[in-house]
Amino acid sequence: MTSGDLRADRRVETARALLDSGDPTAALSVLEQTLELTPDWPELHFLIGEAAATSSHRDRAVAAYARYLALSPDDRLGALPHLALLGATPQPDGLPPAYVAALFDEYAPRFERSLLIGLDYQGPAQLLQAINSVSGSDTVFGSVLDLGCGTGLMGERLRKVCAWIEGVDLSPAMIAQSSSKGVYDALHVSELTAYLANDTRHFDLVTAADVLIYLGDLAPLFAAVTRRLVDGGLFAMTAEAVETDATGLDRRLRPSRRFAHSADYLTRVAGEHGLVQRCHKRTVLRRDGPDAIEAHVMVFERVRAGDRLHALSPERPELVQQEVPEDQTAGHHDLGDQIEHTKMVDQ
């Protein structure tokens, strides 16, 4: 990160060193002085936000993050979640795509080592187990779409149980790691809800392992997934778990800047979009430092057309109360023609 002004860059280096050494007040003072050199440098305002928040100057932090956002609306550094966590804005519906992409582009080279070894990540193994418990372990899916495929850990598990698998992810560097494994038949760099909205094909299985933690409001995602599933197709996902609180809040942005969702929220929103729950396991899928992170592992099924107006689950009639928007081609496995062993990456 450079401002184009050497003196400003040096001051920021000093401020970073002060922040790292645990002196945010001194860092804040150096950063404030730097404003006279580069008043419109977005990253400087973001750093002021960090130093001010860490030294308990909340209002200064809010002003600095807001200024960063005004100067840099794509929000690559993620000021929006900071503003929400400071209580200055409502909880966002998701994290800024540019922020997530930048985060994972930087993380990609060490992602697997860090997650598998450092954080004992179990997501793909547990999700496949849940899928098998619903579909039977000898099922071979015709077509699978892996949302937020990352470096391909889920794809590696699914490759053996499907004829065709595509992955979609915001981060080009994560997609490049996936691509190098040769696990996916096609890979796409895209925001996942936008990708689903623009696609016209139908899949037998859609997966999202450790991805919903970057989305707060899941209604658009569930709606888009339902439209891209064949009748009877499965949506298998994991989410960080939280309890609905006394005020009825059922999804929460955590200080980790990841979202957690309650089981009630997931089941309700899925049901509103024509997905009925087939499996729910509450378990630990990874750690965050020393803390075990409780998670949901869930598999939903797209309600078959003939069943949509009837409650499939008499004790949970709300699960199927809403009609899924009909789609002429739903129910057909329309990837058959494409099952050839070409590998393609579109970016």
Ligand X SMILES: C[S@@+](CC[C@H](N)C(=O)[O-])C[C@H]1O[C@@H](n2cnc3c(N)ncnc32)[C@H](O)[C@@H]1O
Q: Which is nearer to ligand X, 146 or 231 (CB)?
A: 146
Residue 263-282 contact track with ligand X, rule CB under 6 A, x = bound: --------------------
Interior/surface letters 127-136, b for 16+ CB within 10 angstroms, e for the rest? bbebbeeebe
Q: Count of residues binding ligand X (CB under 6 A)?
A: 20
Q: What token pair was written down for 265?
A: 């929220």
State the nearest-atom distance from the C-beta of 275 to ligand X, in Å: 19
- Least Å from the CB of residue 312 to ligand X: 29
Q: Which of 207, 211, 153 is nearest to 183 (CA)?
A: 153
CA distances from 311 to 274, 276, 298, 321 (A): 11, 10, 20, 7
Shortest spacing between CB 53 and ligand X, in angstroms: 24
Q: What is the Rg, in whole angstroms, of the alpha carbon atoms belonging to the chain? A: 22
Residues 282-311 that bind ligand X (CB under 6 A): none
Within residues 121-180, the interface with ligand X by CB under 6 A covers: 123-124, 148-150, 153-154, 169-171, 174
Considering only residues 88 to 127 of the shown chain, the ones binding ligand X according to CB under 6 A are 97, 100, 104, 123-124
Minimal distance, residue 232 CB to ligand X, in Å: 24
Question: β-strands 141-147, 203-208: how paired?
Answer: parallel
Shortest separation between residue 12's beta carbon and ligand X, angstroms: 27
Between 170 and 319, whose beta carbon lies closer to ligand X?
Answer: 170
Q: Supply the minimum distance, in Å, between the C-beta of residue 237 and ligand X.
A: 10
Give, to the nearest 10 degrees, the angle between helix 97-107 and helix 172-181.
50
Indicate the residue among 18 and 115 with the shorter CB distance to ligand X: 115
Among 46, 141, 164, 214, contact with ligand X (rule: CB under 6 A): 214
| 51 vs 213, beta carbon nearer ligand X | 213
196: how many CB neighbours lie within 10 A of its CB?
22
If one asks whether residue 210 binds ligand X (CB under 6 A), the answer comes out as yes
Comparison of 85 and 98: residue with beta carbon closer to ligand X: 98
CA–CA dist 250, 338 (Å, integer): 41
Query: Which range, of 81-89, 180-188, 210-218, 247-255, touches ligand X by CB under 6 A?
Result: 210-218
The nearer residue to ligand X, 24 or 94, going by C-beta atoms, is 94
Question: Which residue of the chain is nearest ligand X when measured via CB?
Answer: 150
Q: Are 177 and 167 in contact (CB under 8 A)?
A: no
Closest to 251 measured CA to CA, from 215, 211, 276, 305: 215
Phi and psi, residue 258, nearest 5°: -120, 155
* Residue given tokens 């050839």 in the structure block: 340
The torsion defined by the Cα of 159, 164, 169 and 171, in degrees rounded to 10, comes to 70
Interface residues with ligand X (CB under 6 A) are 97, 100, 104, 123-124, 148-150, 153-154, 169-171, 174, 191-192, 209-211, 214
